[in-house]
Structure 1
Amino acid sequence: MKNKAAVIDMGTNTFHLLMVALGENSFEILYKEKVPVKIGQGGISQNLILPDAQKRALHTLRHFKELLKGEKIDQIFAFATSAVRNAANGRAFAQEVWEQTGIVIQVIDGEREAELIYKGIRMSGCLDHSSTLMMDIGGGSVEFIIGNEEQIDWKGSFEIGGQRMLDLFHYHDPILPEEIDKLNQYLFQHLQPLIRAIQQYNPQQLVGASGTFDTLTDIYLAGNQQPKPKNQHKHLLPIHSFQEIAARLIHLTKDKRLAIPGMIPMRVDMIVVASCLIRFILNHLAPQDLLCSTYSLKEGVLAEMIEKVATGKDLTVNSWQ
C-alpha cells in the first residue's frame, strides 16, 4: 500500500471524507467521516448557496483539511454535485474554497455523477449479468443507471433530489395524502425518460446506493434484531419489508420517525419523500428484492484510482477524467 489519497464527496446534504491507502487492486480505509452540511438548505430551490450554508461548508472543509494534514495526504479529490453545479454562485463558492483551503473542487455534471455511482455499485458486488436498475437519491439530484456488471446501457440524472422534493411537497408532518399525490404527478412528469428506458431495457433487479438505502437497511435489520456486518457492502431488503417501512414512515411525525431503531437525524426529514420516490419506481418494475449498496460515488472514484495505480498513471487532479 503505497499511495495515500482522499476523496471528498460534497453532496447536497452530506459532505463525506474518505482517506485511503491504495494498492494495485484494492484499498485500505484509513479514516472516514461524514458531516450533515446541508449546503442546499434554504437555497436549492432558488439555485443559490446561502451564506449560512457556505459557512458550514467552509468550516467542514477546513476541518477535513486539518485531518488530511495530520495524515500527510496531499492527493485530494473533491467532487461537488447538484447543489453546487446548479447554484448561480457555485463557481464563486468553489473559488472561495480553493482560496481558504487549497482544495480544488471538481464540479461534475449529472452524467459523470451517474458513471461514478455505477462504478461504486459495481465494486460493492451488487451486480451480475442481469439487467439492473440502479438509483442514488441525493439531496439535489437523483441518478439512475441501467446496466450490469459489464456495462452501462443507459444513465440519467434528474434534479429531483430529496431536498427539492421536501421543499416542493412536504409541507405537513406527517405528509398529507394530497401532497403524495402531487409528488407522484411531479415524478411521472419529470421521469418520462427513465420510464421509457425501463420499458426498453426491462431491468430485473433494483439496487439502491448509499444514503437513504443505508438507513432503510439499518431500520430493517434493527427491526429484526440483526447486526449489520461492517465489512459487507451489499445488503438485501425484501420488497415487502421496504413497503412496510415506507408505510410507517409516511404516517409518522418527525419525532416518531426519529424514534424508529436504525433512523439517524440527518435522514429523518428527507426519508419520507425518498420512500415515496422508491415506491413510485417500484410501480414501474417488479424486482424480487431490493439490494442496497453501501458503495456509491466516492467508491466509484476509488475504483478509478485503483485502475490508474494498476496502469501506472499519475494520480493528480490535472490527470483526472
Structure 2
Amino acid sequence: MRQEKTNKRLGVIDIGSNSIRMMVFDHGGKAQPFCNVKKFLRTTRLGHGVDASGNLAASSIARSIDALVEFKQIADDEGVAEIYAFGTSAMRDAGNAKDLTEPVRRKTGLAIDIVDGDTEARYGFYGVSSCFPGNILIVDIGGGSTELISGSRAAGIVWDKSLNIGAVRDTEKFIREDPPHQSSLQNLEAHVQGQAVVLFQSHALPSDTKLVGIGGTNTTLSAIHQHMTTYDETKIHMSTLSIKDVAQIQNQLAACDLDARKKIEGLPPRRADIIVAGCTILSAVMRSAGAEQMTVCGRDNMEGAAILHYGL
C-alpha cells in the first residue's frame, strides 16, 4: 500500500465490460479523502462478444482506446498527478487483452492493472462499507460479471464471490428478441438463481444484513424508479428499491421494444439494450438472498480502488 498523499489531485479509471469510467478527486487527508470529485463515463461495450469468442472485438478495442486517450487528456487538463487504471471481467476473460493494454500504454502512458474477481470485490467493498455501520451484502452487476460481497465495516469482508453473470454477457446469451420473450427472461432468472441459491445456502447471511446495490445497473434502476429526466447522484445515493419496485420496472422494460425503452425517463439510451438483463439479474439475486429491499450506494469500486491503491 502506498504512502498517504495529501493535497494532490488523483485519478482512478475503471475499464468495465460495458463502460469506462474515470474519477478525478483531491485527497485532503484521512478526514477528507475525496474532495472536489468529478466523474466521467464513456460507453464502449468492451465485453461485446467476449463470452462467445474469448477475445475482445476490434471495434470495442478501438472505442476503448479512444475513450482512454480522451480521459488521459481530461486528467492532464485537470492537473491530475497520478492515475490508477484497472480492468475487470472482459479484460480478464479475453485472450487478447494485450491488444488493448499495449496501444493504451504507448498512447497515454497508462499501465492497466487487470484485476481478478476477488480484487474487484474488495474494491467494491471498501468503496461502500464506509457508508453503512452494520452487516451488508453488496451486489454489483457489471457488464460481464456480478460481484457479491458480504461483510461489515468492523469485520471487513467475510466472503465474496464473482459470478460470470452480467448485463452484456447475458443479454447476448439469453435475450435475442425485441421485446424479449418471457421464456428468455425466465431462463436467465433460473440461470442466476442456480448459482446464487447455492452460494447463499453455503454462506448464511446475518439476519440484519442490508442489501446494497452499486454500479450502473442499480443506479439506473433507481433513476427509472424516480422518473429522473436529469441524472442526480445526490438523489441516487442511499435511495431504496423494494423487490416489488424491481418487479414493476422489469415488467415495464420487458414490455417495450428497444426504441420505446430509449424513451423511458431515467434510462440512458446507451444502456437500453442491456437493462432488461441487468434488472432480471437483480431480481434473481434479491429473491435468492431473501431480500425485500435494496439500498443504492453512490460509492463503488472506484472509491475502493483509490482507498487501497493510494493508501487513503
- What TM-score, normalized to structure 2? 0.89
Corresponding residue pairs, total? 304
Residue of structure 1 aligned with 2:90, choices 77, 83, 91:
83
Paired amino acid for 2:302:
K
Partner of 2:225: 220
Say if 2:141 is the partner of 1:137: yes
Partner of 2:21: 16
Partner of 1:276: 280
User: What CA deviation, in whole Å up to 9, does each residue of 1:120-173 have, x standing for no partner?
Assistant: 1113x1x232x3221000001110011222221110001111111001100111
Say if 2:308 is the partner of 1:298: no
Residue of structure 2 aligned with 1:114, choices 110, 121, 124:
121
Residues 149-160 of structure 1 aligned to structure 2 (within 5 Å): 149-150=153-154, 151-160=156-165
% identical equivalent positions = 26
Residues 52-131 of structure 1 aligned to structure 2 (within 5 Å): 52-123=59-130, 125=131, 127-129=132-134, 131=135
Partner of 1:47: 54
Change (3 A) 1:97 1:283: same
Change (3 A) 1:47 1:119: same
Paired amino acid for 1:291:
T
Greater mean alpha carbon deviation, residues 263-272 or residues 21-30 = 21-30
Change (3 A) 1:184 1:217: closer
Residues 120-199 of structure 1 aligned to structure 2 (within 5 Å): 120-123=127-130, 125=131, 127-129=132-134, 131-150=135-154, 151-191=156-196, 193-199=198-204
User: What CA deviation, in whole Å up to 9, does each residue of 1:177-197 have, x standing for no partner?
Assistant: 221222133223343552324
Greater mean alpha carbon deviation, residues 77-86 or residues 42-51 = 42-51
Q: Distance in 1 between matches of 2:100 and 2:151?
A: 35
Residues 228-243 of structure 1 aligned to structure 2 (within 5 Å): 228=232, 230=234, 233-243=237-247
Give the unaligned 5+ runs of structure 2: 1-5
Root-mean-square deviation (CA, aligned residues, Å) is 2.3
User: What CA deviation, in whole Å up to 9, does each residue of 1:216-239 have, x standing for no partner?
Assistant: 11111127x999463873212233
User: What CA deviation, in whole Å up to 9, does each residue of 1:57-101 have, x standing for no partner?
Assistant: 111111111112222323110010010111000134212211221
Paired amino acid for 1:75:
E
SS at match of 1:284: helix
Paired amino acid for 1:67:
I
Paired amino acid for 1:116:
Y
Q: Distance in 2 between matches of 1:187 and 1:210?
A: 18
